[in-house]
Amino acid sequence: MLKQNLQYKLLQKLSPQQIQLMKLIQLPTQAFEEKVKQEIEENPALESGKNSDEDADMSNEYEDSGTETIETDINIDDYLSDDETPSYKLQSNNYSADDEDKNIPYAGGTSFNQFLKNQLNTVRLSEQERQVAEFLIGSIDDSGYIRRSIEDIVDDLAFSSNVYTSEEEVLKMLKAVQDLDPAGVGAQSLEECLLIQLRRKEENPSRILAIKILDKSFDHFVKKHYKKLMQKFDITEEELKGAISEIEKLNPKPGGSFANNNKIVEQIVPDFSIKIVEGELDLTLNSRNAPELHISNEYNNLLRGYANSKTKTKSQKDAVLFIKQKLDGAKWFIDAIKQRQQTLLLTMNAILHHQKEYFLTGDERKLKPMILKDIADKINMDVSTVSRVANSKYADTPYGTKLIKDFFSESMKNDQGEDVSTREIKKILENVIKEESKKKPLTDDKLAAILKEKGYLIARRTVAKYREQLSIPVARLRKEI
């Protein structure tokens, strides 16, 4: 049975303007600049740069005329400054247009694939052999490896290129590809890649031994079972050191120098600058986050002309409604940028004061525990707003360019019951591992015991988690001879 009834609900919804503001706050400097350019292109009522003196005089002329509201409820003075001097004349800008190169550089050069194909021109091959060789080159990944089976390659040649060949011919062409530069390219495994490079070099006792180790005991070498290697090959520790030294000189990724050759070069543009001036911290926002935008005086002229006209046609009313929409959009965008600047500075200032000891010294052990809620409570904003600022913004500090979210960390208690940052514990763990004997690296149990002696009560599994987060391998793989 169908029924109709009234129901009241209290809902909290963000307005489109608030959603747009959140998106603006999240943007890093370069993306923000693109957004400003896009808005200027889409909204003719919005202009960048300084007003001309002629426009400023025109603005003053409107200001002298007093407030006037026209039929479309547009208050002209809402879009014009009440001061005699335009606001842009009160701003100082110490940056010239040439101070920063805002273009994103592209790297030039020949692609890795083309570099290899060019070398084939020096090899005498039949038409089918060349097709097979070029197909193999096309199968090489950015690291320089062919990670597909010979059987799959034979099938693909038949189906995609209409080339019918045998595994023997593909293997023959694979050897030809592996003779190309850089040495090791076209290998199907790390073991094969290293062996190809060693066999290209002039023979000496250490290299001959290195070839034997990789060819016959690759697993023992990878797992650093040095005693087993010395017993198997009946060699001394010094001889093993020489062989390992030869292997360490090899390139495990022969295609690495060519990878991403034609992609955009990544740039990090800091959003904030933090300096120490006479023992105090000085925070500034990157000038590229503060563009000079203003309402188009041409649009204001159109409004003024409409207000002064005695007869108002329907087309004029439609035009003035369009102008009002564009002016409202431009005015809101300028206000949103101001709010963005205030939010960024307010959030970063709170972080700066919370981590003052770190910013004055650069010692990561001075980082205090800090979560998003700590900063959100200080500035009376939502945690999501702080997250948007922290996740995508960088700060130029005296100790390098840092991602702001790296200043946040969970807390743990030491043996005295004090809250300490997990970043501090990780730094101490990293220093202990750096100072360990590489002949006998410390296990996670021993690392946990050392941290306990230093006043940090941490379980072995937590030590293992922190070690993995620091990209430090287990004790066995840190062993050296």
Is there a domain that residue 5 lies in?
no
What span, in angstroms and rounded, lies between the C-alpha atoms of 473 and 470? 9
In this predicted model, what pLDDT tens digit does every residue of 9-29 receive, in sequence order? 665 565 666 777 788 888 888
Picking from 223, 248, 273, the residue at the C-terminal end of a domain is 248
Q: What pLDDT was estimated at residue 351?
A: 92
Question: What is the pTM (predicted TM-score) of this model?
Answer: 0.54
- Asked whether residue 431 is assigned to any structural domain, the reply reads yes
Please tell me whether residues 124 and 35 are part of one structural domain. Answer: no
Judge if 352 and 428 occupy the same domain. Answer: no
Q: How confident is the model at residue 279 (pLDDT cuts 50, 70, 90)?
A: confident
360 and 423 share one domain: no
C-alpha distance across the termini of the chain, in Å:
84
Shared domain for 371 and 428, answered yes or no, is no
Q: Classify residue 464: in a domain, yes or no.
A: yes
Q: Do 204 and 126 sit in the same domain of this protein?
A: yes
Report yes or no on 69 lying in a domain.
Answer: no
Same domain, 379 and 463: no
Residue 396 is assigned to a structural domain of this protein: no
Q: How far is CA 202 from the centre of its chain?
A: 42
Write out the two tokens for 127. 């038409």
Q: How far apart are CA 145 and CA 26, in angstroms?
A: 39
The stretch 320-324 carries a mean pLDDT of 78
Specify if 471 maps to a domain: yes
- Domain boundary (364, 383, 402) is at 383
Are 260 and 111 in contact by the 8 Å Cβ rule? The answer is: no
Query: What is the tally of structural domains in the chain?
Result: 3
Whole-number pLDDT of residue 27: 84
DSSP summary character for residue 395 = E
Are 137 and 235 contained in the same domain? yes
Q: Which one is predicted more confidently, 309 or 281?
A: 281
* pLDDT tens digits, one per residue of 325-376: 888 888 888 888 888 888 899 999 999 999 998 899 888 778 888 888 889 9
Is residue 429 a part of any domain in this protein? yes
Cα–Cα distance measured from residue 435 to residue 288, given in angstroms and rounded to the nearest whole number: 43
For residue 29, give its domain range: 16-48+283-383
Q: Are residues 378 and 417 in the same domain?
A: no
In this structure, are 169 and 209 located in the same domain?
yes
Is residue 330 a part of any domain in this protein?
yes
319 and 242 together in one domain? no
Residue 175: the pLDDT is 92
Q: How confident is the model at residue 207 (pLDDT cuts 50, 70, 90)?
A: very high
Q: CATH number of the domain that 443 lies in?
A: 1.10.10.60
Backbone angles phi, psi at 281, to 5 degrees: -85, 135
95-104, 279-288, 433-442, 446-455, range with the lowest pLDDT = 95-104
**Domain co-membership, 433 together with 367:** no
Residue 447 φ/ψ region, left for φ over 0, alpha for ψ in the -120 to 50 degree band, beta for the rest: alpha
Q: Are residues 129 and 237 in the same domain?
A: yes
